[in-house]
Amino acid sequence: MSTVSTKAPEAGTAHVPETESRASRVRRKLTSRAASIVSIIIALVWTIPTFGLFVSSLRPENDIKTTGWWTFFKHPTLTLENYNEVVFGTSGTSGRLASYFVNSLVITVPAVLFSVILAAMAAYALSWLNFRGRDWIFIGVFALQIVPLQMALIPLLKLLHNYTEWGGGFFAVWFAHTCFGLPLGVFLLHNFMAELPKDIFEAARVDGARPAMTFRRIVLPLITPALASLTIFQFLWIWNDLIVALVFTSGPGTRPLTVRLAELAGTRGNDWQRLTSGAFVSMIIPLAVFLSLQRYFVRGLLAGGVKG
């Protein structure tokens, strides 16, 4: 006659779930020396095209058009003529990136501020203010993220031309970027704000703080990582945008750097050597923004992903 053992686990021992042990094994493999070597190799391979572009930007025009950038190490020749031509040149299709650089700043900075501020206020209202239809509004905002940008370009442009005087100027492109950036911004900030402790808002309400004061004095300092991440996303998106700039701006007085970079190669693409230096000129500001806010970036990306 067989018997079934019902012996209880010894005191001081704990059962380790299979999923946890599997996760620990995966973690050890990802942090091993081999994984680190593979990561370094991937990083080097990923940066080779950028390094080649940087080397080409410092080579003479004839060398760029006749030989590959890797031949630079055999016959190194450096020049700043390409940068001088695209930044200060005034003949033909060359240069004058300095004025377009200023246009990009004038477009990007206000558009980022408008979209981030409005997204923060909307996310706060959808997270902690009770009003009828709040959940349906959030569902609508979430659904707007799947609408292709191209579907709204021409209708929005016609709306601005027919009912306002903003068409073709800075106000038009500010308005467009703000509208297109709000769905993602509201969604990201809402997930972050929804995890804030409820006791904080109840204590502020007891102390007599109105929603506006609670938002300004309590919520904004607590959501700094999420705001920094959204600012990076919006800044990179607006600074590198081409399609919205082509539709909503007109003339060199309002067009940003990306439009000018697209024109640098010439109508037949025979002046493409200017793109090497022009690309690095356009990278200066986004790189500075990312490096200055990078400590908040990962924290903001992980916001809303895990609840403690």
Same domain assignment for residues 249 and 112: yes
Same domain assignment for residues 142 and 277: yes
Same domain assignment for residues 149 and 240: yes
121 near 181, Cβ under 8 Å? no
Note down the domain range covering 55.
27-79
For residue 307, tell me if it sits in a domain: no
For residue 59, tell me if it sits in a domain: yes
Q: Predicted confidence band at 238 (pLDDT cuts at 50, 70, 90)?
A: very high
Indicate whether 167 pLDDT > 80: no
Same domain assignment for residues 67 and 111: no
Highest mean pLDDT among 123-127, 145-149, 280-284: 123-127
For residue 1, tell me if it sits in a domain: no
Q: Per-residue pLDDT tens for 288-303?
A: 887 877 776 666 555 5
Indicate whether 307 pLDDT > 50: no
So what's the pLDDT on residue 192? 85
The last residue of a domain, from among 15, 49, 79: 79
Same domain assignment for residues 38 and 119: no
CATH number of the domain that residue 123 is part of: 1.10.3720.10
Determine the Cα–Cα distance for residues 143 and 135; give it in Å rounded to an integer.
Answer: 12
Same domain assignment for residues 68 and 101: no
pLDDT higher for 165 or 61? 61
Same domain assignment for residues 69 and 215: no
So what's the pLDDT on residue 298? 62
Same domain assignment for residues 34 and 175: no
Average pLDDT over residues 199-226: 86
Number of domains in the chain: 2
Q: Per-residue pLDDT tens for 21-30?
A: 676 776 776 6
Same domain assignment for residues 55 and 135: no
Same domain assignment for residues 101 and 61: no
For residue 278, tell me if it sits in a domain: yes
Same domain assignment for residues 68 and 125: no
So what's the pLDDT on residue 112? 93
Same domain assignment for residues 47 and 192: no
Look up the pTM and report it: 0.75
